Amino acid sequence: MEHRQGRAKEYSTGKESTTKDEAAEQWKSTFRQNTTALLLSRLHWGRLNLWTSYEEFQAIFTE
């Protein structure tokens, strides 16, 4: 939780002056990080259950 509070402080202490482009870039990079983390966690979980992870892996990369 400390991390989130630190982040909230950042925004309230003058980060409001960021431009729309900067905000969009920040959102994109956060989204990319979250997506990568989710994918890696799903693949890691899949090692325990190879059958499902293989099907999920195929589904992810055949779309």
Residue 57 in contact with residue 43, Cβ under 8 Å?
yes
One-letter amino acid for residue 41 of the chain? S
The pTM of this model reads 0.35
Domain spans, the chain: 32-63
Dihedral sign from CA coordinates of 9, 15, 16, 22? negative
Q: 7-14: long-range contacts (C-beta < 8 A, 24 or more apart)?
A: none
Each residue's pLDDT, cut to its tens digit, for the chain (63 residues) gives 445 555 555 555 555 566 888 888 888 888 888 888 877 777 666 555 555 566 776 777 776
